Amino acid sequence: MAISDLELETIKPVAELADFVESFWMIRSHSAVEKEIVVLPDGRFDIIFSYAANESFHATLRGLDTEADQTVIPAKMVMFAVSFKLLAIEYLLHIKVASVLNHGYRLPADFWSVTNDDLNDFETFCHKVSLTMLALIKPGIDSRKKKLFDLIYASNGSLTVKELSEKVFWSNRQINRYFNQQFGISLKAYCNILRFRASLQQIKAGKLFPEQDFADQTHFIKAVKKYSGVVPKELSKNQNDRFILLSALPKK
């Protein structure tokens, strides 16, 4: 199945959700056969609502990924999802995802009252789920945490732990305890994933050299291989559009 057999679309959240939601996204397969893909780490966790030709409607929480994951898109599959920033775990969903690092679990069938019918129209789905999330936001967000995540995302993970610690007046030890307890990953490891993700646009354009504050070419190649399983040259070729995140990136 070629990428032309897939509908891919993303929508940005309303301003009131911008601290918690990275994007809404959908994949709709028009093919009668499954497609093998590789899911790349992107620094997000997701709540996914889906059904397919041989699968009933269900909702899934997918934790952070720290490595490439080979999977399949089932035939005639429809998948609508919310990709979250890390602040949402504590202040919107009130959960910890450390236990679901590199995997996920099924959510209750009536989660957020989303049904199979809500997957007919993407914009309507986004509006309905946005209203639900706006009602769930917990007041009193820790200003240090908000500033920390603002800096992490604005820099695409390029700031060091020491620099972040100094800017938010929060010790390295406390930040890493928070990250490991809440997310199952250290701050440095998370920033490395964001740097890898930021490099995907240049790799898609065939620029196979470091542009995201990697020390040198060797470190760049090592990081790309760690998170994708292949070297930058092979990743850029993206044979059969199997690296779905790379395929979904807009052309520049």
Contacts of 238 (CB under 8 A, 6+ apart): 204, 246, 247
The pair of structure tokens assigned to 114 is 């989303």
Residue 247: which of 204, 199, 205 has the closest Cα? 204
Domain boundaries, the chain: 3-136
The pTM of the whole model exceeds 0.85: yes
Cβ atoms of 12 and 85 closer than 8 Å: no
Cβ atoms of 170 and 197 closer than 8 Å: no
Q: Is the pLDDT of residue 2 over 60?
A: no
Q: State the average pLDDT over residues 71-75.
A: 91
Pick the CATH number of 3-136 from 3.10.20, 2.60.40, 3.10.100, 3.40.50: 2.60.40
Within 52-121, residue ranges assigned H as helices are 87-91
The pair of structure tokens assigned to 201 is 């646009």
How far apart are the C-alpha atoms of 103 and 80, rounded to whole Å?
18
Q: Are strands 21-29 and 6-11 parallel, antiparallel or unpaired?
A: antiparallel
With tokens 């996914």, the residue in question is 48
pLDDT tier for residue 1 given thresholds of 50, 70 and 90: very low
Per-residue model confidence (pLDDT) at position 250? 67
- Rounded percentage of the chain residues whose pLDDT exceeds 70: 95
How far apart are the C-alpha atoms of 120 and 122, rounded to whole Å?
7
The pair of structure tokens assigned to 111 is 């989660």
Per-residue model confidence (pLDDT) at position 175? 96
Task: Give residue-wise pLDDT tens across range 197-249.
Answer: 998 888 888 887 766 677 778 888 898 999 999 999 999 898 878 888 776 77
